[in-house]
């Protein structure tokens, strides 16, 4: 998400939407087969808390206890014409990488590279070069290749016995929900919009039917599939319902999905990574092609996220045989949702 558009921020809604493939698809693996071995302290994860794709990595990193092994850089949610920038840090520079823009790590890897500058991104600290921006593979590798650095009690987010089912569920979630809301929001014509919007709600209804009788999407524990659905659901009423015109109903109006989303939000590792201020300011202020005034709405009311969800009655064990993650590391806290 968040490719460097320059003039492009004003073109959203005026040109056909097509999500770019990740140009840098190297993998960081236990055996280092792509030249990037798993190594504590070597890499820096660059995210925006506004971005649902980057938020997957934030949740995974917390659940797996990788905070001490994989450092974190948080970009300003409002981009300029060079895309993601480190204006939240002193002097406008990332304190570890020493750069003002994520684009500098991209250029260090490949000058004049095609495509834009997106998050999540992993940068090699010693060289300052981008390693990967492959948002689809990154979290799977955190779950399966970084196991030597997982905390004691870390959950298995991509259990081998369930991978075929997890992959199948994630494919539908990605096509119709994760990406579907963007296809609706950036549509250039009525027919294109209606097709995408209908697909979003058709899939959400199928997911609600699935989740009516089970606590999590696959098996009885949290998996990668839940992480990927959550990062869209948590943004739904705040931005996708209004800004992207996905307004057949609000998440809070669907009893099953609203309870499921609250259940995850209240689970350590999920809600404690969410910054609604960053989310709202990014979408409403950056996408000037579909919100030319840049006005950020006051709502929705966030109080309900901490209301009882009642999903415990379905059983399930959030972390399987593991344990919840510890406290959020100092400096990584996000504003608390009103109780």
Where helices occur in 174-212 by DSSP H, the ranges are 180-185, 190-211
> Do residues 334 and 273 touch, judged by C-beta distance below 8 A?
yes
> Do residues 142 and 64 touch, judged by C-beta distance below 8 A?
yes
Nearest Cα neighbor of 103 from 121, 86, 83 is 83
Catalytic residue among 43, 106, 158, 182: 182
Where helices occur in 29-133 by DSSP H, the ranges are 52-64, 103-109
Show the tokens assigned to 217.
Answer: 């999407």
Show the tokens assigned to 228.
Answer: 């990927």
Active site residue 197: no
Q: At CB < 8 A and 24+ separation, what contacts does 7-12 make?
A: 7/81, 9/79, 9/286, 9/287, 9/288, 9/289, 10/288, 10/289, 10/292, 11/289, 12/185, 12/186, 12/287, 12/288, 12/289, 12/290
Active site residue 182: yes
Where helices occur in 65-189 by DSSP H, the ranges are 103-109, 135-144, 163-173, 180-185
Catalytic residue among 12, 43, 51, 240: 51
Distance between first and last Cα of the chain: 31
Show the tokens assigned to 51.
Answer: 């971005």
Q: Angle 118-124-125 (CA atoms, 0-180°, nearest 5)?
A: 115
CA–CA distance, 108 with 94 (Å, rounded to integer): 15
Omega prior to 120 cis, within 30 of 0 = yes
The alpha carbons of the chain give a radius of gyration, in whole angstroms, of 19
Q: Residues with catalytic annotation? A: 51, 182
């Amino acid at each position: 998400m968040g490719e460097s558009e320059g003039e492009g921020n004003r073109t959203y809604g005026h040109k056909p939407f097509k999500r770019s493939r990740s140009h840098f698809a190297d993998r960081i693996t236990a055996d280092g087969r792509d030249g990037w071995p798993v190594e504590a302290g070597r890499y820096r994860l660059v995210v925006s808390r506004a971005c649902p794709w980057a938020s997957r990595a934030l949740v995974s990193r917390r659940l797996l206890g990788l905070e001490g092994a994989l450092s974190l850089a948080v970009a300003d949610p409002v981009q300029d014409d060079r895309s993601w920038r480190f204006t939240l840090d002193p002097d406008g520079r990332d304190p570890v990488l020493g750069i003002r823009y994520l684009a500098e790590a991209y250029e260090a890897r490949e000058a004049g590279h095609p495509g834009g500058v997106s998050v999540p991104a992993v940068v090699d600290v010693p060289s300052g070069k981008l390693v990967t921006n492959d948002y689809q593979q990154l979290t799977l590798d955190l779950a399966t290749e970084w196991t030597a650095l997982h905390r004691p009690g870390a959950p298995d987010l991509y259990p081998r016995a369930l991978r075929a089912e997890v992959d199948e569920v994630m494919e539908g979630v990605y096509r119709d929900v994760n990406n579907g809301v963007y296809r609706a929001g950036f549509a250039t014509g009525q027919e294109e919009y209606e097709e995408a919007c209908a697909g979003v709600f058709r899939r959400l209804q199928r997911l609600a039917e699935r989740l009516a009788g089970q606590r999590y999407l696959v098996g009885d524990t949290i998996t990668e599939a839940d992480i990927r659905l959550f990062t869209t659901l948590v943004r739904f009423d705040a931005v996708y319902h209004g800004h992207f015109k996905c307004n057949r109903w609000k998440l809070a109006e669907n009893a099953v999905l609203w309870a499921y989303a609250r259940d995850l939000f209240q689970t350590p590792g999920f809600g404690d990574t969410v910054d609604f201020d960053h989310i709202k300011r990014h979408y409403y202020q950056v996408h000037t092609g579909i919100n030319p005034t840049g006005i950020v709405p006051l709502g929705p009311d966030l109080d309900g996220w901490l209301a009882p969800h009642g999903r415990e009655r379905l059983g399930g064990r959030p972390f399987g045989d593991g344990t919840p993650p510890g406290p959020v590391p100092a400096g990584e806290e996000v504003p608390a949702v009103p109780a």
